[in-house]
Amino acid sequence: MKMVIAIFRPEKCEEVKEALKEVGIIGMTFTRVTGRGQQAGVRFTSRVGDFVVDEIEKMKVEIVLEDDSDVNLAVDTVRRAAWTGHPGDGRVFVIPVENSYKISDYLDDQSNH
Work out how many domains the chain is built from and give that number: 1
Within a domain: residue 76?
yes
Within a domain: residue 113?
no
Residues of the chain with pLDDT under 50: none
Within a domain: residue 75?
yes
**pLDDT of amino acid 41:** 65
Within a domain: residue 96?
yes
Q: The domain containing residue 53 runs over which residues?
A: 2-100
**pLDDT of amino acid 8:** 98
Integer Cα distance of 62 and 5 in angstroms:
5
Within a domain: residue 112?
no
- Indicate the pTM of the whole model: 0.82
Within a domain: residue 26?
yes
Q: What is the CATH number of the domain that holds 8?
A: 3.30.70.120
Within a domain: residue 73?
yes
Beta strands (DSSP E) in the chain are: 2-8, 29-35, 42-46, 49-53, 56-65, 90-96
Within a domain: residue 17?
yes
**pLDDT of amino acid 113:** 64
